Amino acid sequence: MKLLLIEDDPAMQLSLTRSFERRGLQVVSCSDGALALQRWQASLPDVVLLDLSLPHQDGLEVLAQARKAGLSTPVLILTARGTVGDRILGLNVGADDYLPKPFDLDELMARVQALGRRAGGGVGAFSPHTAAPLFCGLRVDQDSGAVYHHDQLLELTPREGALLRALLARPGHAIAKERLFDLVFPGESEVQLEAIEVVAYRLRKRIASTGAQLVSLRGLGYLLKAPT
């Protein structure tokens, strides 16, 4: 796994780099917000660790630019900003996970590995022999977990992919928000239930061109609906 570490604290950067390399990860580092997007595009990492307080450009701006540029790499935000508002803002911009400083190194490693595994389900060659039935042209490749609209791979974040796969398993049927939360944020008890609304909002925009409608049902959850 290749990891991009965007962190301006030299001691933190060195410590994390050594810790990850001892665990067999390849680490590319960057300490300047103005250079982060360029390094991201050049290194093509599997996971990005992003600090928010960076020189020359804020981490949230870096993330927003990356998502606008079509970079769907899973992002885990590391920051001393630990309020719920900051977490929701980070998720809304396009982050996949959020860990406030100070943090436990083993927990960080577990989260990075989880993001890496989920990202592995976001790529892969299309194979009609392993594809699920179509719904509005959407199908899930059963081997890779990738979601396609006809033969075009959808660019989804790991959390968007997890939500869409869950909804495609039962199109037309409401799935409880709590159940979807468990699938999209497995084992992440510190994340608020409302975070699933952010993922649903982003996914709704991603699939708008397919015709499938992601419907929110108050008190019931979400469902995928075909156009009428």
CB atoms near residue 68 (< 10 Å) = 10
pLDDT in tens, 54-110: 888 888 899 989 888 888 889 999 877 655 556 666 677 788 888 888 888 888 888
Inform me whether the pLDDT recorded for 50 exceeds 90. yes
Return the pLDDT at 145.
77
Could you tell me if 161 and 216 lie in one domain?
A: yes
Could you tell me if 137 and 189 lie in one domain?
A: yes
Reported as type and span, the H/E element at residue 225 is strand 221-225
Could you tell me if 28 and 77 lie in one domain?
A: yes
Dig out the tokens for 14 from the structure: 């060195």
**For residues 29 and 40, is the Cβ–Cβ distance under 8 A?**
no
As a whole number of angstroms, the distance between CA 84 and CA 87 comes to 5
Among 86, 120, 154, the domain boundary falls at: 120
User: Helix, strand or coil for residue 4?
Assistant: strand
As a whole number of angstroms, the distance between CA 30 and CA 110 comes to 22
Among 89, 120, 151, the domain boundary falls at: 120
Could you tell me if 71 and 150 lie in one domain?
A: no
Could you tell me if 94 and 50 lie in one domain?
A: yes
Tell me the CATH number at 64.
3.40.50.2300
* 3: confidence class by pLDDT, cuts 50, 70, 90: very high
CB atoms near residue 105 (< 10 Å) = 13
As a whole number of angstroms, the distance between CA 114 and CA 23 comes to 15
Return the pLDDT at 132.
46
Could you tell me if 11 and 94 lie in one domain?
A: yes
In the chain, the number of structural domains is: 2
Could you tell me if 62 and 81 lie in one domain?
A: yes
Could you tell me if 145 and 116 lie in one domain?
A: no
Dig out the tokens for 208 from the structure: 């708008």
Return the pLDDT at 125.
30
Which residue has tokens 């981490």?
A: 59
Tell me the CATH number at 217.
1.10.10.10
Domain region containing 190: 128-225
**For residues 28 and 5, is the Cβ–Cβ distance under 8 A?**
yes
pLDDT in tens, 13-23: 999 999 888 88
Return the pLDDT at 122.
36
CB atoms near residue 148 (< 10 Å) = 19
pLDDT in tens, 147-184: 888 878 898 998 998 899 889 888 888 888 888 988 88
Pairing of strands 138-140, 152-153: unpaired
Higher-confidence residue: 44 or 118?
A: 44
Could you tell me if 35 and 88 lie in one domain?
A: yes
Inform me whether the pLDDT recorded for 202 exceeds 90. yes
CB burial of 107-143 (b: ≥16 within 10 Å; e: otherwise) equals: ebeebbebbbebbebbeeeeeeeebeeebbebbbbee
As a whole number of angstroms, the distance between CA 183 and CA 29 comes to 31
Return the pLDDT at 104.
82
